[in-house]
Structure formats: structure tokens, C-alpha cells
Structure 1
Amino acid sequence: MRIDVHTHFYPSGYLAEIRRHSDHASVTVDDAGQLVLHYAGDYNVLAPAHHSVEARLADMDAAGIDLSVMSLTTPGVHVERPERGVTLAKLVNDEYAELQRQYPERFRFFATLPLQAPDEAAKELERAVRQLGLAGAMIFSNVNGEPVDRPRFWPIYEAAEALGAPIVVHPTAPAFAEYLSEYRLVALLGFAYDTTMVAVRMVLGGVLDRFPGLRLIQTHLGGVLPYLAERVQRGYAVYPELKGKLQRTPIEYFREMYLDTVLFDPDCLKLGLAFAGEDRLLLGSDHPHQVGDLFKAVRVIKELPVERTVKEKILSGNARRLLKIETAAA
């Protein structure tokens, strides 16, 4: 079985609302007739599988993906005014729940949360998991420039821990995005920075001491966390501002995080596997973004020089355990 945990879908109701009105996003049509969703610092070209169930299923079948665990992706609803964000989050999650009901063997979803209103986000997370049956939630690495380790966001983590609901941490444009406006550097470099930054801040900021049962999924193989974790560990041991502030050393927290495999270089994946362990890697494709690749995501795991049992864990076993997925295919 193959379960893709990093793949994105825009519900039709959300796109209609953004086209009708948004404070910070817009939808246009390019010369090729494709929808383009613009937001501060970047844009997404919408492939058919971004918003068509039929196209999504066709792509999954072609690549041999049994089940997709989808999320909204950028720009998210947190870029809107708080009351608008709450309304959009409920609209998205209700549509996700309906699709999950219609296609229980093929689709699961991570809830969208109005992160600019953390108390409301915690309530929506509880509704999404308890009432709608969604798999957990996705948050972003910053909320309109504010790091998400800050205490005002802690109600979300308290709710997630109580629910046993995993939280996917997805990058968005970093606070210094204006310096990355050329060459698509927000997507190419800025996302990797923000992914790494949020993983380190969640540890050094004490979030995982406060909520030890919180389960985090870091996207894009943790950014450059496997490469830089030793430096963070070393700094924690010598900098007086950090030393002794945590219950454990940083590396212990990092290695409890889950990493998805959205880096398709086999050497990078071998590093990620050595860093996180075979029980902490989850198949991801970033489909259907331009920079995603549904076929390569599967192929690179199948070709890794590791035991078949390890590949099976990455392709589906870890996701099934973490997300409590039971299907006929499983």
C-alpha cells in the first residue's frame, strides 16, 4: 500500500470564495487557461488535480497511490481577517469531510485552521477531528510573520495533544520574503529555511516540554534540520542563553518528529533516514504543485538501498500507524 501524506487540494468552495473576495489572495487565469492563485511573496499554478476529484483520482491511479492525505497549502486562511479566516476554515473542512465520506478508501484530510485566532483554531481542530473525522491538522511555519512557537498559539497544541491529532507543519513565505522575490526563491530556499526554523523554535521554545504528547510532521524532510541538528545540539551545550533550559537535549526532540520524504535526492533521503529512523519517515509527493512529483516520490523510495520492510514502513506503514488509517486496501 502507498499513502501520500504531503499532497494538496483546494476545495471548490474555497476557490469560489477567494475569487469573490479576499484581502490577501487572488485567482487569475494564465495564457494556458490554468488557474493561478497569487498571494504575498509567491503564487501557485493550479493543476487539474489541485481542484478536480476526477483528475486527482486519475493521477493517483497512474502513480499507484492508494490513499492521499490532503491539505489546503498556501496561502492558508490565516492571511484573511480573523472572522473571515474562521468562516473559510469551516467551509474547507466541511468540504473535506464530505469528500472523505464519499471516497473513504482513497482520501483523508488534514484540517485547515484559522491560525490568526488561536482560540478559534483550537475549537475548529476539535470540531474537525471529533465531528468531521479528519486526520489532524496542518499549520504553517509562521502566521503573518509571527513564529508559531509563541505561547499565544499554545491552545492549538493543547487541543492537538488532547485529541491525539498529528500536526503537519508546512512552510510558508518567511518574514524576509521581500529579499527572495526573484528566481522563485521563496519556494526554492525560503520554505526550507522556515521549515528548519520552526522545528528548532518548537524545541528551544519549550513547546514540546509543555506538550510532550504532541506529534509533529515536518515537511520537506525537515528542511535542512538533519544537516544542521548537530550544530543546534552543540550550541545548546555551550550558549548560556540555552543551556539547561530544556528537559532533554534538542536532538532527542528532533528525532521524535516525523519527516515527510519531499526531497527526492536519494542521498538526502538516506541522511533523513539515518537521522529520524525508519519509523519516522512518511511518503510525500508535494503533488500537484509544479515542484512536486508523484511518480518520483514513490520511485526514489523503492530504489533506496534498504530492506523491503523499511520501504514498506515509509510507503504506508508509518502513516497507517500515526494517522490510525484502516481501509480495505490495508
Structure 2
Amino acid sequence: MTHDIPPTTTATTATATGTTTTTATTATATGRGGDGPGLIDVHAHFVTDSYVRRARAAGHERPDGVPAWPSWSARAHLELMDRSGIDTAVLSVSSPGVHFGDAAAARALAREVNEDGARVVRDHPGRFGLFASLPLPDVDGALAEIAYAFDELDADGVILETNTHGVYLGDARLEPVFAELGRRQAVVFLHPTSPVCWEHSALGRPRPMVEFIFDTARTVTDLLFAGTLDRHPGLKVVVPHCGGALPVLADRINGFMKLFMPAGTPAPDAVAQLRRLYFDLAGPAFPRQVPALLNLADPGHLLYGSDYCWTPAPAAEAHAASFDTAPDPVEGTDWRTLTTSNARTLLPRLAR
């Protein structure tokens, strides 16, 4: 991993031509396009050289069908943030996660990336947060890492892939993990990964295009049917990419839940449960996805997300700029003000 210079100092960086330039890494965002506050990015990723080596060794040369792994450094991320008016980014490890088939190796890799991420947070006060990785479906390993991440690393929450080797989040074996996260009233950031059927369903195309969207809906539906969200109301679950397919499937899911509940069991209101969730706006949110999401989500639960570094910097900058030109989400507020206020409420450490 590249450990970058502390903020508010100067850095010498190489250009494409081999010459060097000196730039300043400031403590606050400077590229703000609108008049609102700096954004808080809850959907931001990092990778390390060590993590990529281990993933490649496990067969992830083309992760989720994407042609290549992205590169990442704190310095480059901060420069993007400053250009885009992003004050703080909450880092996490994206798909394919940390479990490549060996539980002991997954525990070690989760600990490694969590300590690397926490080091970046410490090195750049106020600019980064951390959603810690867990070595699911290893329940004992996940419980140990939850304790370490929150009690030792001061993580802001955890990231859970939508499935790990076909184990979806409503699986009864994961109940102890959700019970502990609920007890801690933890922020749980969901992130899609390839479904187990991707070899047939993706049709040879990169899985983030369509498969990620439906795997998000699949795992949230699994949580609903399993009753996990009802049993653990302290969970603060963030669903990525404008909810994936959930906004257009919510009524369908609600109807089927009522049909298939055991006799004598009260029918849950799936739509009401979905409105309790938080949703980030990473991806092509405007002009079509956000209107659908606003028909489902509580505006007080909408959050900004860039999906950098898996989304290239030019696209991430264009996405941030779209928040300054899109119609206001509700009367009397703009997207920057709304999403930043929501993030500060959800993640109080960042507000401090």
C-alpha cells in the first residue's frame, strides 16, 4: 500500500511525461461546484498492492469481469475529492471481498486491509472514514473482527458483500453476526458482488452492469424474508447504487411476502421496512434512477456515493458535478446539503 504524506503538506508527483510537479494536499475540499457543504462520500473504495496480489492468486485476475484492477493511493483520492467538493470519503474494500475460500486466510486478509484503512484515516484527519471488512461466511472470524474493528480501530461501520460463496445475508447461519451488529447499532454498508450463477446469467459481460444491481435486490429481499431487519432494529443498513432494482420491485416483493407468510403469521410491510434503510446514490443516479428511488426512500436516508476508485476519476467528478445541476430533491434543500446532513447524522464521528 502507498502511505501518503499527511494533509496540508506539499507532495512531489510524477507526471505522464516523467517530469515532476508539486501540489498541496489541503485539509478541506476546494473544488466545490455549488454553494452547499462539502460532500460526504459513503461509497468509496481503496485497494492495496497486497490485497490485489492475494485476489489474483485466488483467480480474480479480471475481478467480476472487469478488464483490470484499479490503482489507488490516498494522494490521488484526496486530489479527486478536492476537485469534486468532497470533504470526507468512507473507505471500504469492494467486491470480491476478502474470503477467497480459506477461512484462516480470510481472517488474516480482513485484519490486514482493516488496519491499512485505519492507518489512512489516522494519517489524514477528517478526510477519510472506514467501513471494515469481515471474513464472512466465517461467523466466528467475523465476530472477532467486529470487536477489533469497532473497539480498536474505531471503524465507522462494516461492509458486507451481498453474498459470499453463495451464502446470502438472510442465511440463518449469519444470525449471530447481525445480532452483534444490531447490539452495537452499527452502520452496515452493503456492496454487490457476482451471484453464484453469473457464468450463465452475465452472458459474458461485466457483472457490475446488471448482475450487481439484481444481487443487491436479492440479498435485501433475503433479509426481509428472513426477518433479520425486524429482529435487529438497531441495524443501520446502507443499500448502494440507488437501491439497485429495489425501487421498482418493492411492491412486487411486498405482495409476495404477504402471500408466502406461514399461516397465522402477521404479514410484514416490506415497503415500510425498505423505507427504514439508507440508500447511496453511486452510479448513474440522474436522470432516471433517483425519481424511482424517491418514490420509495425517506429523503432523510439518502447519501452521496462516488464508487471511486472502481469508477474512474473523470466519471466520479462528473457524477459529483451532477449533484449541483440536478433538480432539488425536496423543496428548500439541495443535494449536497441533504446528503451531507444525512451522512453526519448517520456517522456522528464524521460530524465531529
TM-score normalised by length of structure 2: 0.82
Residue 32 of structure 2 corresponds to residue 8 of structure 1: no
| Correspondent of 1:300 among 310, 322, 329 | 322
**Any idea what the Cα deviations from partners look like across 1:251-309, whole Å, max 9, x if unmatched?**
11111011110232223212212310211111011112247832233233322322352
Query: Residue 184 of structure 2 contacts residue 234 of structure 2 at CA under 8 Å; is this kept in 1?
Result: no
Shift of 1:85: 0.1
Structure 1: stretches of 5+ with no match in the other structure: 27-37
Aligned position for 2:250 = 229
Query: Residue 129 of structure 1 contacts residue 165 of structure 1 at CA under 8 Å; is this kept in 2?
Result: no
Aligned position for 1:256 = 276
Aligned position for 1:114 = 135
- Check 1:264–1:240 CA distance in 2 against 1; reply closer, same or farther (3 A cut): closer
**Any idea what the Cα deviations from partners look like across 1:22-41, whole Å, max 9, x if unmatched?**
33434xxxxxxxxxxx34x5
- Rounded to whole Å, the distance in 1 between the matches of 2:262 and 2:271 is 14
Amino acid of the residue matched to residue 281 of structure 1? L
Residue 349 of structure 2 corresponds to residue 325 of structure 1: yes
- Check 1:46–1:240 CA distance in 2 against 1; reply closer, same or farther (3 A cut): closer
Amino acid of the residue matched to residue 316 of structure 2? L
Shift of 1:199: 1.1
SS at match of 2:306: coil
Query: Residue 257 of structure 2 contacts residue 268 of structure 2 at CA under 8 Å; is this kept in 1?
Result: no
Q: Which protein is richer in helix relative to its size?
A: 1
| Correspondent of 2:58 among 9, 12, 23 | 23
Aligned position for 1:162 = 183
Query: Residue 209 of structure 1 contacts residue 246 of structure 1 at CA under 8 Å; is this kept in 2?
Result: no
- Rounded to whole Å, the distance in 2 between the matches of 1:179 and 1:300 is 35
Aligned position for 1:186 = 207
Query: Residue 39 of structure 2 contacts residue 85 of structure 2 at CA under 8 Å; is this kept in 1?
Result: yes
- Rounded to whole Å, the distance in 1 between the matches of 2:118 and 2:288 is 37
SS at match of 1:271: helix
Shift of 1:14: 2.4
- Rounded to whole Å, the distance in 2 between the matches of 1:4 and 1:314 is 13
- Check 1:304–1:246 CA distance in 2 against 1; reply closer, same or farther (3 A cut): farther
SS at match of 1:111: strand
Stretch of structure 1 that moved more, 299-308 or 147-156: 299-308
Shift of 1:57: 1.1
Amino acid of the residue matched to residue 294 of structure 1? A
Query: Residue 141 of structure 1 contacts residue 148 of structure 1 at CA under 8 Å; is this kept in 2?
Result: yes
| Correspondent of 1:271 among 292, 307, 311 | 292
How is 1:29-40 mapped onto 2 (pairs within 5 angstroms)? 38-39=62-63
- Check 1:69–1:141 CA distance in 2 against 1; reply closer, same or farther (3 A cut): same
- Check 1:86–1:260 CA distance in 2 against 1; reply closer, same or farther (3 A cut): same
Aligned position for 1:35 = none
Shift of 1:109: 1.1
**Any idea what the Cα deviations from partners look like across 1:161-182, whole Å, max 9, x if unmatched?**
1222111111100111001454
Aligned position for 2:148 = 127
- Rounded to whole Å, the distance in 2 between the matches of 1:227 and 1:112 is 29
**Any idea what the Cα deviations from partners look like across 1:176-221, whole Å, max 9, x if unmatched?**
1001454524111100110011111111111112212111111111
Query: Residue 141 of structure 1 contacts residue 198 of structure 1 at CA under 8 Å; is this kept in 2?
Result: yes
Larger Rg: 2
% identical equivalent positions: 29
Structure 2: stretches of 5+ with no match in the other structure: 1-37
Query: Residue 259 of structure 1 contacts residue 276 of structure 1 at CA under 8 Å; is this kept in 2?
Result: yes
Stretch of structure 1 that moved more, 72-81 or 191-200: 72-81
- Rounded to whole Å, the distance in 1 between the matches of 2:120 and 2:195 is 32
